[in-house]
Structure 1
Amino acid sequence: MVRNNRKSAKVLASVLAASLAFGSIGYAAPIPAEYGKSSYSQDQKIVARVNAERAIEHIRYLSEEIGTRPGGLENEKKSAEYIADTLKSYGYDVEFQYFPVADQYIGSVAFPDGTLWEMGAAPNGSISDTAVKAEVVYVENNDFTNVEDKIVLLARASTLAGYRQQVADAVNAGAAGVILQSLVGSRGNYGQTFSPSLTEQYNIPVFGASYIHGEWLKEKMEDGAAELSLTSKHYSDLKSVNVIATKEAKTKTEDTKEVILGAHHDSVVGAPGANDNASGVGLMLELARVYQGYNTDKTLKFIAFGSEERGLLGARYYVDQLTQEQKDQIEAVFVPDMVATNYDKATNLYAMTPDGSQNIVTDSTGKAGARLGNSDILPGKFGSSDHVPFHNAGIPAALFIWMGIDSWDPLVYHIEKVYHTPQDTIEENISADRMQSALDIIGSGLFDVVRKETPGNN
């Protein structure tokens, strides 16, 4: 999930907290339902077939075999190829939609044992494939004595001017390189990697590390002197990619509507993105597998959007290429983003719209949850994922995300601490139960919108 306009975690926290709407969804199941069950045959066509472990295997490949997937870089293209190959294996027609994205500055930190960490690099620092090798030291209280020819680790100042001064002081003291450690956010979220914004040109590498990178590095230093090799690269002329699979309606006319299930497949720099958002892709691919066996009254598209983390770029590009007639044909857009966290405080699956309004997407999934006896899903207001460009174009859309909100204090919300960090892994941040719940609810709600009416299927 992208941070609003790439602003700080603190600003995002205040925006989201102020905008969240919460409470009971208010749908009554037409027939009493045991949790996870429904007497409606159309629900059982989904619930009986979807499997969280299959979805998690897709998460495993994306987050472990491929790893970090920054928009426009090679690993995002590998992700796109994996998604396309999977959808083709299910029998879908698949196309790639490429679009330009801005340059990336990536830093690589190598340890003598071969361990590699990915960080953001400052454009105004040294950008070179030639490694800077040196011992790393942690500087506290901006005390830059005895840092000459060493790589300096700093807890970054909370202001832009503050950390620019830290870098200048380190350079003046003769440091061979600087690693600025992100801070913990105001809601307890661990800071992510970043490309430091500097006004001066320096001849040493300056990297922006995630909070946990810094903590891990301190632990290594406590075990003895730690030597690092820093290299960096400027990636230009980049293209990101959307992957689009189409299942045509069984009987198509000029009035046939279209429904989209879309999830972004990129991650931020330095994060394997298991929950954000390999989980959404895993859900999408598992539902694509199941839906391929059913006739639908509407055209169904499965879309993996590129570069969501860089400003919803893939979804924006997709919507911008549509004619007004094509926009009018889209009846509903389902966007799963972070749908499998194991974070204990993220207690509910939310169906979020940018303005908190209800639409066909929120209605269908809310009713599906009620039929299934599943009280997880709640409505809400959230404006920083791929549902936004569709909503802005007048197309009904909603985001699905696991989150927690303290009912006694609307200014407190809970998204997992480790999103956008190296700890967003299957081991640390994925729940099979949460994934199964999301598959059941979203899958049943989506099927209710697209299914082909036949005698007895109610």
Structure 2
Amino acid sequence: MINRKMPKVLATVLAASLALSSVGYAAPAVGEKGKSTYSQDQKIVARVDAERAIEHIKYLSKEIGTRPGGLEAEKKSADYIAKTLESYGYDVEYQYFPVADQYIANVGFSDGTVWEMGASPNGVISNTAVTAEVVYVEGGTSASDFSDVSGKVVLMARAASTAQYRAQVENAVKAGAAGVILQSLVGSRGNYGQAFNPSLTPVYDVPVFGAAYIQGEWLKEQIAKAPVEISLTATHYSNLQSVNVIATKEAKSKDENVKEVILGAHHDSVVGAPGANDNASGVGLMLELARVYKGYNTDKTLKFIAFGAEERGLLGSRYYVNQLTQEQRDQIEAVFVPDMVATNYDKANNLYAMTPDGSRNIVTDSTVEAGARLGNSDILPGTFGSSDHVPFHQAGIPAALFIWMGIDSWSPLVYHIEKVYHTPQDTIEDNISVERMQSALDIIGSGLFDVVRKKTPGNN
């Protein structure tokens, strides 16, 4: 999910006795959790498997790893998604679009381990390694903070403001540092800071990198035990393209005005983060539902889309929407966007169906009602504007985001997403819950099926 200042989250609890949904179906009586009395729900719930979805997360986050928009790893994830969808029998197409340059840093260790960080364009960008001992400097905003750093790589916790961390870099370079690594800060909600590209005014003749908070902590732990030598390299990637992967399931309908429904999830990650929950989880959910839906006829055309470069400004979904004609936009009835749907973070205790302005639509209603039918109280409607549902909403197309989140209070607003969001710790081991994934599959899968399913006498 793109890292932006997130708007206020509003949510209300849906009563289990909803009388009528926006898609025109009476909500059946609530059964035990996962045991809806609605036979159409069981067509999905009985077949979706969280473990299968997590196998996709494993491949994307462990075999491929970090997937910054426009780089080769993102293209590998696109190929994996395309081949998986093709193996289910779907026709698949690639949709390419341009993205801005990337400056990527690599920090190598003697055991062959390499960490990915952000690099400043105004530091040395070279594949020729700067190899030196790394030392930690407390503070750094004063020249007096530095002693015996000549020829060494200086690690510092970045100061809060850009002006202050620029002073840190200036002081380190003047003291003879061979390189500088600025450690990201802990966020206001306790979230660990991500890797970043330091914004510098002068051009320096040493590499200057931006590390994730946890990378700085890991480095400090190593330094405390014994001297540590690292190698710094950086690459400027230009003329980049990202890619959307689109699979289509045509409607089994004689209606000349067939509507279209989209299930879409971004497949890129931020620099330095393997992106298990953000957002291999959304892709895993999409691929598992694609597997199950292939066996069912639908009254509406269904598209499964893996969006590229979401983390760089919702670029893939914006490109997709912008190239549609107005007639094509009018044909889209609903867009379901799973983004971060499997975290194990205990404070993110509800699955939300979010729209940018808090309005309800066919997507929010179908899934909230599915949760009620399934006896699953995890899902609530709410307001959130930082994912691939936004471009569709802005184009007047009903869309909603699905994300696990926790609300502590409304005034002042205190909400939680996982601490390891956008960091090297967004891994299966640290941040994925089988139970949360299963809940999301059941709810989103059942709500989506209620929108697209083939109608027969007696199930309208």
Q: What pairs with 1:90-101 in structure 2 (closer than 5 Å)?
A: 90-101=88-99
**Structure-2 residue corresponding to 1:205:** 207
Aligned equivalents of 1:410 and 1:374: distance in 2?
28
Instruction: Report the 3-state secondary structure (helix = DSSP H, G, I; strand = E; otherwise coil) of the residue aligned with 2:413.
Output: coil
2:28, 2:37 within 8 Å by CA — same for their partners in 1? no
1:27, 1:366 within 8 Å by CA — same for their partners in 2? no
Deviation at 1:48, TM superposition (A): 0.1
Deviation at 1:382, TM superposition (A): 0.3
Deviation at 1:406, TM superposition (A): 1.2
Aligned equivalents of 1:219 and 1:3: distance in 2?
28
Q: What pairs with 1:346-365 in structure 2 (closer than 5 Å)?
A: 346-365=348-367
2:30, 2:372 within 8 Å by CA — same for their partners in 1? no
1:159–1:248 CA distance, 2 compared to 1 (3 A): same
1:173 lines up with 2:162 in the alignment? no
Q: What pairs with 1:262-281 in structure 2 (closer than 5 Å)?
A: 262-281=264-283
1:73, 1:238 within 8 Å by CA — same for their partners in 2? yes
Deviation at 1:407, TM superposition (A): 3.9
User: 83-92 or 399-408, which moves further after superposition?
Assistant: 399-408
- For residue 103 of structure 2, the aligned residue among 102, 105, 118 is 105
1:93, 1:245 within 8 Å by CA — same for their partners in 2? yes
Aligned length in residues: 447
Instruction: Report the 3-state secondary structure (helix = DSSP H, G, I; strand = E; otherwise coil) of the residue aligned with 1:406.
Output: strand
**Structure-1 residue corresponding to 2:146:** 144
Instruction: Report the 3-state secondary structure (helix = DSSP H, G, I; strand = E; otherwise coil) of the residue aligned with 1:412.
Output: strand
Q: Give a deviation string over 1:82-122, Cα, whole Å, max 9, x none.
A: 00000000000000000000000000000000010000000
2:66, 2:73 within 8 Å by CA — same for their partners in 1? yes
Name structure 2 gaps, 5 residues minimum. Answer: 18-26
Q: What pairs with 1:9-158 in structure 2 (closer than 5 Å)?
A: 12=5, 15-16=6-7, 19-28=8-17, 30-142=28-140, 143-158=145-160
Deviation at 1:27, TM superposition (A): 4.3
Aligned equivalents of 2:195 and 2:410: distance in 1?
33
Instruction: Report the 3-state secondary structure (helix = DSSP H, G, I; strand = E; otherwise coil) of the residue aligned with 2:382.
Output: strand
**Structure-1 residue corresponding to 2:397:** 395
Q: What pairs with 1:175-324 in structure 2 (closer than 5 Å)?
A: 175-324=177-326
Deviation at 1:410, TM superposition (A): 4.8
User: 447-456 or 427-436, which moves further after superposition?
Assistant: 447-456
2:53, 2:288 within 8 Å by CA — same for their partners in 1? yes
Aligned equivalents of 1:211 and 1:241: distance in 2?
30
**Structure-2 residue corresponding to 1:8:** none
Deviation at 1:323, TM superposition (A): 0.1
Aligned equivalents of 1:445 and 1:313: distance in 2?
27
Aligned equivalents of 1:355 and 1:182: distance in 2?
31
* Counterpart code for 1:76: E
Aligned equivalents of 2:66 and 2:139: distance in 1?
33
User: 33-42 or 433-442, which moves further after superposition?
Assistant: 33-42
TM-score of the pair, normalised by structure 2: 0.96
Deviation at 1:3, TM superposition (A): 1.5
Deviation at 1:262, TM superposition (A): 0.1
- For residue 434 of structure 2, the aligned residue among 413, 432, 435 is 432
Aligned equivalents of 2:254 and 2:338: distance in 1?
27
Aligned equivalents of 1:176 and 1:2: distance in 2?
33
Aligned equivalents of 1:426 and 1:252: distance in 2?
44
Instruction: Report the 3-state secondary structure (helix = DSSP H, G, I; strand = E; otherwise coil) of the residue aligned with 2:396.
Output: coil
**Structure-1 residue corresponding to 2:23:** none
User: 249-258 or 362-371, which moves further after superposition?
Assistant: 249-258
Instruction: Report the 3-state secondary structure (helix = DSSP H, G, I; strand = E; otherwise coil) of the residue aligned with 1:231.
Output: strand
**Structure-2 residue corresponding to 1:417:** 419
Aligned equivalents of 1:398 and 1:234: distance in 2?
36
Identity of aligned residues (%): 79
1:20, 1:410 within 8 Å by CA — same for their partners in 2? no
Aligned equivalents of 1:83 and 1:174: distance in 2?
47
Aligned equivalents of 1:341 and 1:333: distance in 2?
22
**Structure-1 residue corresponding to 2:20:** none
Instruction: Report the 3-state secondary structure (helix = DSSP H, G, I; strand = E; otherwise coil) of the residue aligned with 2:305.
Output: strand
1:320–1:200 CA distance, 2 compared to 1 (3 A): same
Deviation at 1:39, TM superposition (A): 1.0
Q: Give a deviation string over 1:39-58, Cα, whole Å, max 9, x none.
A: 11110000000000000000
Instruction: Report the 3-state secondary structure (helix = DSSP H, G, I; strand = E; otherwise coil) of the residue aligned with 1:433.
Output: helix
* Counterpart code for 2:448: L
* Counterpart code for 1:3: N
2:10, 2:358 within 8 Å by CA — same for their partners in 1? yes
TM-score of the pair, normalised by structure 1: 0.96
Q: Give a deviation string over 1:369-407, Cα, whole Å, max 9, x none.
A: 000000000011000000000000000000000000014
**Structure-2 residue corresponding to 1:7:** none
